[in-house]
């Protein structure tokens, strides 16, 4: 992970240094008190949530910005912007409204329309034992996309405000930058199995020309968040204290040239702009190109990582269970993401037990320092994988660094605290393990060395303050 100067780094470090050096009396012994309190609350979900809401949780490393926004906000923003919604398909559109489309503002006074939109733009009606939410979950993004357009800064403000309320320090939202530009280059150049030649052809065709626009996306999103939260005023919102870097998300269910163009652009963008800290590949792993070209994608990442050494990579890998794909496609996704692509982090890792030689995968992840982003709620909603069927304890027992994440807290109607509640109630973890999840999250985050050092020092002080309540 290479060092990258960040605007907030100095302030972040200064804040950590200004914290009191001495801990409250008896703070070290209070870990046992906090652990005892959690154990006493295991069968009291509401009180357990209250306890865990106040516990320092470090970071949310796996969060798609558009999916992190609650549908209620999408409707209101779309209404303010004059957007439309189709009353049959519930797809949001840009004006003018035609045919079955009506202004989104109609939903503000029409309770039935409001409820219908919430039901299809989120998992509000989901029941884990009733049906698989796979198709419903992924379909939401195409439905609310137009309503969210132009509101990334507003979305980030909502995310960081929620993060601060839950005692988080850092978020790493996923955004797809300049897809149209990379698509045009891919169509112009075409696919070449010689990755080096294809890379040079795309650079010659001007793929890096879109970097300033992608940089503006990041800076304007951060600026809008700052304005909404009053970060430069005398009374800033607590969300201003949450540090933000963005990850590039590459749409993997695309023809090979399009995927390579996105990957190449992402690596060039990370090299050029410190606001972009990492690379990821998204869209369902069971989609057509996602499955047929999975190995090809891993080799693309491997090649580009060799050309751009030190750039950070995290990959959705193993977001699968039997029945979603044929058995043969369950046997290698995590393995190849770790051993071929060389990912720094793995998102989901849900199909571990169906992969070929899972023990070897776990040993490799531990040896390489590959972290797992565990998304308990979305795995339950999309894959019906929860409780003892979920492999999170396998990763923990193997010594792999694990951090809890939300994935799409708006779509899922959840938050990071809920992931910690599930970790306790569904998986039996205790306070010390939850504390380790929070610490490992910062250790696995795509931070500069200075940012990480400051964040861990800040977290240590937060834990001392929190634990001092439980003598």
In a domain, 332, yes or no: yes
Residue 332 and residue 372 in contact, taking contact as beta carbons nearer than 8 Å: no
**Rounded Cα–Cα distance for residues 348 and 107 (Å):** 35
The whole-number pLDDT of residue 131 equals 63
Pair (216, 295) in one structural domain: yes
Alpha helices (runs of H) in 205-281, residue ranges in sequence order: 211-229, 256-272
Structural tokens at position 222: 């951060």
**Rounded Cα–Cα distance for residues 158 and 171 (Å):** 12
Rounded to the nearest 5°, which phi and psi values hold at 170?
A: -150, 140
Region of 56 (left: φ > 0; alpha: ψ -120 to 50; beta: rest) is beta
Burial of 11 (0-12, 13-18, 19+ CB in 10 A): middle
Residue 213 makes CB contacts below 8 A (sequence gap 6+) with 177, 178, 181
The last residue of a domain, from among 125, 148, 171: 148
In a domain, 366, yes or no: yes
Which sign does the torsion angle of CA 346, 347, 351, 352 carry?
positive
Pair (45, 81) in one structural domain: no
Q: At what angle do helices 449-467 and 9-18 cross, to 10 degrees?
A: 40
Residue 6 and residue 455 in contact, taking contact as beta carbons nearer than 8 Å: no
In a domain, 2, yes or no: no
Structural tokens at position 199: 């890379």
Pair (13, 25) in one structural domain: yes
Structural tokens at position 94: 């840009």
Residue 335 and residue 361 in contact, taking contact as beta carbons nearer than 8 Å: yes
In a domain, 1, yes or no: no
Pairing relationship of beta strands 168-175 and 92-93 according to DSSP bridges: unpaired
**Rounded Cα–Cα distance for residues 350 and 376 (Å):** 10
My answer on whether omega of the bond before 247 falls inside 30° of 0, hence cis, is no
Structural tokens at position 34: 């906090």
Pair (198, 321) in one structural domain: yes
Report the CATH number that the domain containing residue 277 is assigned in CATH.
3.20.20.140
Q: At what angle do helices 294-307 and 195-204 cross, to 10 degrees?
A: 70
Pair (137, 161) in one structural domain: no
**Rounded Cα–Cα distance for residues 77 and 70 (Å):** 11
**Rounded Cα–Cα distance for residues 320 and 328 (Å):** 12
The whole-number pLDDT of residue 5 equals 38
SS3 278: strand
Give the number of residues written for the chain: 471
Q: At what angle do helices 45-54 and 30-41 cross, to 10 degrees?
A: 150
In a domain, 4, yes or no: no
- Nearest to residue 107, comparing CAs of 153, 120, 140? 120
Q: Cα angle at 349 between 348 and 351, to 5 degrees?
A: 120
Q: Kindly give the confidence (pLDDT) of every residue in the chain, 471 residues in length, as a single tens digit, with 9 standing for 90 and above.
A: 444 334 444 545 444 444 443 444 444 559 999 999 999 999 999 999 999 999 999 999 999 999 999 999 999 999 999 999 999 999 999 999 999 999 999 999 999 999 999 999 999 988 766 667 899 999 999 999 999 999 999 999 999 999 999 999 999 999 999 999 999 999 999 999 999 999 999 999 999 999 999 999 999 999 999 999 999 999 999 999 999 999 999 999 999 999 999 999 999 999 999 999 999 999 999 999 999 999 999 999 999 999 999 999 999 999 999 999 999 999 999 999 999 999 999 999 999 999 999 999 999 999 999 999 999 999 999 999 999 999 999 999 999 999 999 999 999 999 999 999 999 999 999 999 999 999 999 999 999 999 999 999 999 999 999 999 998
Considering the entire predicted model, what is its pTM?
Answer: 0.92
Pair (202, 138) in one structural domain: no
Residue 293 and residue 302 in contact, taking contact as beta carbons nearer than 8 Å: no
- Nearest to residue 270, comparing CAs of 220, 300, 314? 314
In a domain, 302, yes or no: yes
The whole-number pLDDT of residue 248 equals 98
Pair (294, 397) in one structural domain: yes
Pair (218, 122) in one structural domain: no
Burial of 96 (0-12, 13-18, 19+ CB in 10 A): exposed
Q: State which residues form the domain around 215.
A: 9-66+151-467
Pair (286, 326) in one structural domain: yes
Please report, for residues 72, 74, 84, 117, the alpha-carbon distance to residue 79 in angstroms, rounded to integers and kept in the order given: 11, 8, 8, 13
Q: What is the DSSP letter of 82?
A: T
Tokens 């609310």 map to which residue? 144
DSSP for 134-179 reads HHHHHHHHHHHHHHHTT-HHHHHHHHHHHHHHTTEEEEEEEE---H
The last residue of a domain, from among 148, 167, 193: 148
Pair (435, 456) in one structural domain: yes
**Rounded Cα–Cα distance for residues 348 and 285 (Å):** 11
Rounded to the nearest 5°, which phi and psi values hold at 232?
A: -100, 15
**Rounded Cα–Cα distance for residues 168 and 69 (Å):** 17
Pair (411, 280) in one structural domain: yes
In a domain, 347, yes or no: yes
Q: How many domains does the chain have?
A: 2
Pair (13, 110) in one structural domain: no
The last residue of a domain, from among 148, 183, 201: 148
In a domain, 282, yes or no: yes
Neighbours of 134 (CB within 10 A): 18
């Amino acid at each position: 992970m290479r060092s990258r100067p960040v605007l907030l780094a100095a302030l972040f470090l200064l804040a950590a240094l200004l914290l009191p050096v001495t801990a409250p009396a008896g703070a070290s012994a209070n870990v046992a008190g906090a652990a005892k309190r959690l154990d006493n609350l295991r069968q009291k979900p509401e009180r357990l949530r209250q306890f865990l809401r106040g516990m320092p949780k470090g970071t949310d490393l796996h969060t798609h910005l558009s999916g992190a926004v609650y549908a209620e906000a999408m409707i209101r923003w779309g209404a303010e912007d004059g957007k439309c919604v189709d009353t049959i398909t519930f797809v949001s559109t840009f004006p003018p409204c035609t045919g079955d489309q009506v202004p989104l503002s109609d939903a503000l006074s029409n309770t039935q329309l409001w409820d219908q939109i919430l039901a299809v733009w989120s998992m509000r009606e989901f029941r884990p034992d009733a049906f698989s939410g796979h198709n419903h979950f992924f379909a939401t993004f195409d439905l609310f996309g137009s309503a969210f357009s132009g509101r990334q800064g507003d979305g980030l403000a909502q995310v960081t405000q929620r993060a601060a309320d839950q005692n988080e320090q850092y978020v790493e939202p996923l955004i797809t930058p300049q897809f149209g530009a990379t698509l045009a280059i891919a169509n112009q150049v075409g696919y070449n199995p010689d990755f080096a030649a294809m890379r040079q052809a795309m650079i010659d065709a001007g793929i890096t020309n879109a970097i300033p626009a992608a940089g503006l996306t990041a800076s304007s999103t951060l600026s809008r968040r700052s304005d909404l939260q009053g970060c430069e005023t005398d009374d800033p919102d607590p969300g201003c204290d949450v540090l933000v870097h963005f990850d590039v998300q590459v749409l993997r269910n695309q023809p090979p040239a399009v995927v390579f163009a996105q990957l190449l652009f992402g690596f060039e963008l990370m090299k050029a702009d410190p606001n972009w800290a990492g690379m990821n590949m998204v869209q369902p792993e069971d989609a057509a190109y996602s499955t047929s070209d999975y190995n090809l994608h891993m080799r693309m990442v491997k090649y580009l990582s060799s050309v751009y050494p030190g750039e950070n990579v995290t990959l959705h890998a193993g977001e699968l269970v039997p029945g979603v794909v044929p058995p043969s496609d369950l046997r290698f996704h995590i393995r190849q993401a770790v051993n071929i692509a060389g990912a720094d982090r793995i998102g989901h890792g849900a199909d571990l037990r169906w992969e070929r030689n899972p023990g070897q995968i776990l040993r490799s992840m531990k040896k390489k320092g590959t972290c797992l982003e565990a998304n308990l709620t979305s795995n339950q909603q999309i894959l019906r994988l929860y409780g003892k069927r979920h492999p999170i304890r396998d990763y923990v027992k193997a010594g792999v660094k694990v951090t809890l994440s939300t994935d799409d807290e708006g779509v899922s109607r959840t938050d990071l605290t809920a992931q910690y509640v599930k970790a306790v109630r569904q998986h039996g973890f205790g306070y010390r393990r939850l504390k380790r999840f929070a610490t490992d999250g910062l250790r696995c985050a795509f931070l500069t060395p200075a940012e990480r050092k400051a964040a861990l020092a800040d977290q240590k002080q937060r834990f001392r303050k929190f634990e001092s309540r439980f003598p």
